[in-house]
Amino acid sequence: MKRFYLQMTVIYILDFKYMYPFRLRRRNDLKEGDIMSNQKNDRFSRQLSIVVIVATVIIVSVFLFTEFRTVEVPVSSIARRISSRPQSAVADPVKRHYKVFHVMSYHSPWEWTDKQLEGFKAVLSKMDVEYDVMQMDTKRKSGEDWKREVSEEIQKAINTSNPDLIFANDDNAQQYVTKYYVNSRFPIVFSAVNEDPAKYGFTDAKNVTGVVEKLHYVPTLKLLQKLIPSARKIAMISDTGAMWTALIEEMKQQESQFSGIKVASYDVIPTFEEFKLKIADYQDKVDAIGFFGVFEFKDERGDNVPMEEVMKWLQANSKLPDFSFWEDRVFKGTLCSVSVSAYEQGYLAGVYARDILFGKSPADLPIIATERGSALINTATAKKLGIEPTEDTLRIAKTVKDILL
């Protein structure tokens, strides 16, 4: 009805503007010579035109105000989904207060775990986030009794805290904590997982996503060959940590890509004494030694020997070049590594966490792996071993100039 009145008003204006003067001129033509009458009609025409224009403006203004005040504007499906969320989550998600519960498999201070959390926090730095952090400390305490005890404590803390999201790094946190929250009300983002996520029930979970850790075996051995062109035979050594089995199998599957290098043996060693004997035995049998885990070698009391003590003994008693796949080892004297970036692991997990806190479902975010590796060379170790890296090699790698033990 409103549109009808508007249309009629416009028609009337057009009729008055264009047809009325025409009809007036026709009448004037019929009354030629009546000049006074014609002048009066012109004045009347102008006055009436002003009145009609003013009335039309008022009518159209009233129409526009009432029409657009009530009109329903079509919205996109995305906008509907956003508007259907709780108001606190969409009005200004950056300014909302969030609680993130962080489960460390290991301990802090330690560069591997600290860098992951640093990368995670960098993404959420402009948000109001409260962090609860609990450390499982399983590098230094690897017994099953301890793992069960600390995981029960962490689960109680999670249930009490009622966080908006759980961020858990490395495998023990998944094995002993987060797998019990699969398809729960808590969104979960993980990082630095070595095992197949299916082991923890993550691949079909509606509330879990994250970043897996893929080691750079081939690039690390290529870097070793640049430093020691004569290297042909290597041995791989690991402690008995549960996560290393999957990595050893993964490395075996890539052996065909190890150009010119043969792996003589993969040794999983339970005690520190056996480790010492194996290192001594390899001194004249291989060209270099690679390391997976060096955290759970047991002493005579059955306790884990600290990694720093293992590395100190190695520096003092082995003349062989060594390599690994983590940057923290290079800082403690390992010759070289193309390292997984702990910061990148945490950063990508942080990106996923931000998306989830802003409304995305973890099920819509695929589990991913970091791709970039960082080449590192400890030049103090190289000097000790009589190795002189070429300028080309130094250009492609970061250098560590001290042994931090």
209 has pLDDT over 60:
yes
Query: What percent of the chain is modeled with pLDDT above 70?
Result: 77
Looking at residue 159, its amino acid is N
Whether 134 has a pLDDT exceeding 60, the answer reads yes
- Average pLDDT score over the chain: 84
* Whole-number pLDDT of residue 94: 73
Bigger pLDDT: 371 or 362? 362
What pLDDT sits at residue 49? 52
Domains 93-212 and 217-340+372-400 share a fold: yes
Q: Which residue has the tokens 């001194």?
A: 283
Give the architecture (CATH level 2) of 93-212: 3-Layer(aba) Sandwich (3.40)
Contacts of 221 (CB under 8 A, 6+ apart): 234, 258, 261, 323
Structure confidence at residue 372 (pLDDT): 80
pLDDT for 98 beyond 50: yes
CB atoms within 10 A of CB 184: 16
Whose CA is closest to 327, among 172, 114, 173? 114
Six-digit token string for 83: 């508007």
Helices (H), 32-188: 35-70, 77-83, 87-90, 111-123, 144-161, 171-176
pLDDT at 276 exceeding the cut of 60: yes
Give residue-wise pLDDT tens across range 317-337. 999 999 999 999 999 999 999
Options 3.40.50.2300, 3.40.50.11540, 1.10.760.10, 2.60.40.10; which CATH number does 217-340+372-400 get?
A: 3.40.50.2300
Closest to 340 measured CA to CA, from 166, 202, 171, 212 = 212
pLDDT of 190 strictly over 50: yes
398 φ/ψ angles, rounded to the nearest 5 degrees: -80, 150
Each domain of the chain, given as residue ranges in start order, spans 2-70, 93-212, 217-340+372-400
Q: 105, 141, 180: which is closest to 345 by C-alpha?
A: 105
Residue with tokens 């591997």: 112
pLDDT at 36 over 50: no
Q: What is the pLDDT of residue 47?
A: 55
- Read off the pLDDT band of 93 (50, 70, 90): confident
Cβ-Cβ contacts under 8 Å for 27 (sequence gap 6 or more): 41
CA dihedral 38, 44, 45, 50 (to 10 degrees): 160
Q: What are phi and psi of 138, to 5 degrees?
A: -85, -5
- Reference 3, options 71, 63, 73, 55; nearest CA is 63
pLDDT digits 0-9 by tens, 42-89:
454 555 555 445 455 454 444 433 333 332 323 223 223 322 334 334
List, for residues 220-273, the tens digit of each pLDDT value. 999 999 999 999 999 999 999 988 999 999 999 999 999 899 999 999 999 999
Specify the pLDDT at position 195: 92
What pLDDT is attached to residue 29? 43
- Judge whether residue 206 has pLDDT over 60: yes
Asked whether residue 371 carries a pLDDT value surpassing 90, the answer given is: no
DSSP for 110-153 reads -HHHHHHHHHHHHHTTTSEEEEEEEE--TTT---HHHHHHHHHH
pLDDT for the residue 72: 30
Per residue in 62-72, pLDDT (tens digit) is: 443 333 333 23
- Could you read off the pLDDT of 153-177 as tens digits, one per residue? 999 999 999 999 999 999 999 999 9
| Parallel, antiparallel or unpaired: strands 373-378 and 336-340 | antiparallel
Characterise 333 by phi-psi region: left (phi > 0), alpha (psi -120 to 50), beta (else): left
